Amino acid sequence: MHDRNANRPLRFGVVTPPRTDIRAWRDDVRRMADTGFSTLLMPDIRMLPAPGPTLAVAATLTDTRVGTWVYASPYRPPWSVAWEAHSLSLLTDGRFEFGIGTGRPGIEDELRELGDDAAPPRQRVDDVREAVRSLRELDGENVRTPVAMAVRGPKARAVAAELADIVTIVGLPADSRAVVGELAASFSGADVELALHVPVVGDVVEPFMTGPDTDPAALHAADSLLALPVDPAAAGEEILRRRAEYGFTYFVIGSLAAEALAPVVAELAGK
């Protein structure tokens, strides 16, 4: 068990991008907030509206926190993403969580299509560090934007332990619980909130949280931490187990599964 997280209350985030109908999305945002989700999150994917403006609108619809899950550092210079994050903190009265990572698998191909070359992984981690440094400079003494980092490798984990408030492990379908547990354990001495990115609930796969080849049955058969059961009672037991065994207290799911897990969120949020 992670002692620092043993008594940390549970909270839940939901990745809820506009899919087609903007009016329906606004209704979804209000419904997610009423359900008890602590944070409404947006992915950084070019086929969707840009996360900054979208979150600014979401923040006018509810009093819930909003955040990026997560900005891909290769898309923007560090100073630019820091400026946007600080602006969102100001515009939302401090309800913005700045999620950032080095980019999902395949981002190199996307950048080449845009006429740009992706920086090597080490440079991308340095860019994340510089973005956080620039954000702290912009925030000054009167604002502190919470920083969430998506990490996996040792350098990224070291930077997150130093700078982040929230950490999520970039999980792979082949990861055993032991592998994820070891990665999470590397933060046992850091004062960070451990978040778990869960793209699969039952047989529902959130397309903006994982790849198109994700196999729900295989993940459930492997007892993967990337999946949760759809039954609310079973899901609640599993969430409590993951807090006790690994220290995860912030669970992020996709909006397609939000209704199914609404009873779990209502029962466990804040406990």
List pLDDT tens digits, range 52-73. Answer: 999 999 999 999 999 999 998 8
The architecture of the domain spanning 3-268 is Alpha-Beta Barrel (3.20)
C-alpha span between 195 and 193 (Å, rounded)? 6
Q: For the chain, what is the mean pLDDT?
A: 92
Say if residues 14 and 258 touch (Cβ distance below 8 Å).
yes
Q: Report residue 173 as tokens.
A: 């379908």
Q: State mean pLDDT over 79-108.
A: 90
Q: Does residue 189 have a pLDDT over 50? A: yes
- pLDDT at position 107 is 61
Query: Model confidence at 1, in pLDDT bands (50, 70, 90)?
Result: very low
229-238 mean pLDDT: 98
34/24 Cα distance (integer angstroms):
15
pTM, full prediction: 0.94
**Closest C-alpha to 216, from 230, 201, 231:** 201
Are 93 and 62 spatial neighbours (Cβ–Cβ below 8 Å)? no
Q: How confident is the model at residue 106 (pLDDT cuts 50, 70, 90)?
A: low
What value does the mean pLDDT take over residues 98-110? 75
Alpha-carbon distances of 88 from 34, 164, 190, rounded to whole Å: 22, 18, 26
Structure confidence at residue 115 (pLDDT): 61
